[in-house]
Each structure stands twice: as C-alpha cells, then as structure tokens.
Structure 1
C-alpha cells in the first residue's frame, strides 16, 4: 500500500490488489477512507467522509492529477515486471 501523496492531512495511496481495476486512488484521513476514479475523476466510494471533505479531496486530485496517474502507471509497471 504505497502512499504516493500527502496533502492537508490526507494520504493518497493504491492497493496492489486493485491494480487490475481502472486507475483510481484511495484517500484517507482520521480513519476515514474514500475512493476516486482517475480517468475521469469521479467519486467511486465516499466512505464516511463529509461532502466538504470530498470536495477538498476532489480539488487536491484535480491539482495533482497528472502526478497521480503517473504514480498509478508506475505501480502497474512494477507489478508487470515482478
């Protein structure tokens, strides 16, 4: 579960077992977790995060979209090489 980004107390990571799914990122803070698709950016699962938190996470994803997609692709390539 590599954490690839930390912003405003939020951690962004991928689960290795999920790398067969379309590109997405898991986001967590204070024991709460959400999942966002990356292509296109859409909320996949809100978990117990509040709408205001989800809006902030969406903005962070939009601001870091290219980085997150590259990180996803890097994790997929590690899996393919392994």
Structure 2
C-alpha cells in the first residue's frame, strides 16, 4: 500500500493488488476513505467524506495529477 502523496490530514495511496483496474488513487483521513479515478478525477467510491470535503480533495489531486499518474505507472509497470 504505497503512499504517493500527503497533505494536511490526508494520505493518497494505491492498493498493490489493484493494478488491473484503471489508474486511480485512494485518499484516507482518519476512518474515511475515497477512491478517485485519475483519468477524470471522478469519485469511484466514497466511504464517509462529506461532499464539500470531496471537492477540496479533488482540487488538490488535480494539481498533482501528473505526479500521481507517474507514480501509478512506475508502481504497476505500465
């Protein structure tokens, strides 16, 4: 479960067994977690984050999208 980005209380990471899925990142804060597709930064799954917080997370991920895609490709060998 490599962490690829940290900011404030958030941690963005991959699950190593999900390389067969399209590129995505999980973001966790406390006991909340959400999964975001990297091609369009849409929410695939949200477990606990309020909608106003999701918007802020997406804005942050958008500013680091190239870095996240690079980390995905390096980790999964794409």
Instruction: State the TM-score, normalized to the length of structure 1.
Output: 0.90
1:50 aligns with 2:62: no
- Structure 2 counterpart SS, 1:41: coil
Over aligned residues, Cα RMSD in angstroms?
Answer: 1.1
Aligned residue for 1:71? Answer: 71
Matches within 5 A, 1:1-82: 1-77=1-77
CA distance in 2, matches of 1:41, 1:51: 14
TM-score normalised according to structure 2 size: 0.94
Unaligned regions of 5+ residues in structure 1, if any?
none
> Which is helix-richer, 1 or 2?
1
Shift in Å at residue 65 of structure 1?
A: 0.4
4+ residue runs over 6 A deviation: none
- Equivalenced residue count is 78
Residue 52 of structure 1 and its aligned partner are, at CA, apart by 1.4
Unpaired stretches in structure 2, ≥5 consecutive residues: none
